[in-house]
Amino acid sequence: MSSPYCLNLPLNAVSFGSVSFALTRELFKRGELPPIFPLFGQSPDDSAQRPDPDFVQKQNACINSADQRWSRDGKTFCLWHVRGSLNSYSKQGNHLLTFHELDQLTPTEINVLKQQSKVYVTSNFSKGVFSQYGIDAEYLPIGFDSHNFQSLEKRPSIDGVIQFLLPGKAESRKGTYQVLRAWAKRYGNNAKYRLNCAIHNPFLPIERLNAMLNEALGGQRYFNIQFLPWAPTNATYNVTLQSSQIVISMSGGEGRDLPCYHATALGAWPVAMRAHAYTDYLNDDNAVLVSPNGKRPAADGVFFASNSPFNSGNFFSFDDDAFITACEEAEKRVLSKGLNTNGLELQKLGYQQAVDILLRDLKG
């Protein structure tokens, strides 16, 4: 007997993979064992996940039996970018979950999205953007990955030092280089402060990344800015996210920003943009928010290009002084309140609600 739906997912070690594993894990908890087709036929890479032999056994069984159990008359849930999402294991197109980061859709993106049987987005901002172009997308709330992340009994700390964390991919979209410049100007070589940079980008040659970081810091060295090694597992990253009292999340465009969400849910105080996906889970009680001072073109010569058929538009921008003022406010909260107990509330949103919505649509 064929299944009413299948999964077409990127089972890898980056953010899309993390969400794919978390959604699949929640489905397994409910006794669902759908056919799974790893995106592009790639072998699953669960190296970043906490070991879970039972999960892996079920996952492999769902993958190995997929060709025998699947019919194109069923529905397909796919998690991927708009680009590359036209292929489907269903006659009906995909139920597509996509992370969108810009304030516009291109004509090509509009056409691709119209070929899907259903579109989900991970922020209400993206839902609004899609609506402007006639795409009826549904907000799919994803939250805390409790399998991979847990509060530590004792957080890493240095007496008398306020530690900031700058996580995520190093790129212009996330404000990485602007944040580095502004933070170094205000706090650089001040022993009372430290900036822990968990910033990497597997899509950039390491030589180019290092050159861009060096340029952002004006070629200077700061003893209180340290670049952390790549965390190969979520267990290691769990410690990284709790290494600092303040997490910097000044991205100009996000579909969700999992490092920010998890760091906040684990007790850090975020300094974040009052914009896009952040407004779905951050507020004035659990974060120090910086209002954008406008928008800037997304084109960066690396990941976003002008007049491209995909990923063309604008990001939100911010003022350096407003960012530093927010950092100073976050420091006050650390000293007066300690752990961000309001942020811990974000652990209550896991993947249950998202799977409720998916099963409603895929089995209905």
Apex CA 253: angle with CA 287 and CA 300, to 5°?
A: 135
Q: Is 269 helix (H, G, I), strand (E, B) or coil?
A: strand
Write the DSSP assignment of 289-346 as a string of letters.
Answer: EE---EEEE---SSS--TT-SSS-SEEEE--HHHHHHHHHHHHHHHHHH-S-HHHHGG
Q: Quick one: angle between helices 320-337 and 176-187, nearest 10? A: 70
Q: Which residues does 32 contact at the CB level (< 8 Å), separation at least 6?
A: 359
Residue 312 to residue 306: CA distance in whole angstroms: 6
Residue 322 to residue 160: CA distance in whole angstroms: 25
Residue 189 to residue 255: CA distance in whole angstroms: 34
pLDDT of residue 201: 87
pLDDT of residue 1: 56
pLDDT of residue 305: 86
Residue 43 to residue 59: CA distance in whole angstroms: 11
Q: Judge whether 269 and 327 are in contact, CB under 8 Å.
A: no
Q: Count Cα atoms within 13 angstroms, Cβ side, for 351.
A: 21
Residue 298 to residue 140: CA distance in whole angstroms: 25
Chunked into runs of 10 residues, the chain (364 residues) has average pLDDT values of 90 95 98 97 96 98 97 97 96 96 97 98 98 98 98 95 96 95 98 96 88 93 96 96 98 97 98 98 98 96 87 97 98 98 98 98 94
Q: Count Cα atoms within 13 angstroms, Cβ side, for 158.
A: 13
Q: Which residues does 354 contact at the CB level (< 8 Å), separation at least 6?
A: 23, 26, 140, 141, 142
Q: Are strands 36-38 and 75-79 parallel, antiparallel or unpaired?
A: unpaired
Whether the CA torsion 240, 233, 174, 228 is positive or negative: it is: positive
pLDDT of residue 256: 96
Q: Quick one: angle between helices 15-29 and 258-265, nearest 10? A: 60
Q: Count Cα atoms within 13 angstroms, Cβ side, for 80.
A: 23
The pTM of the full predicted model, rounded to 2 decimals, is 0.96
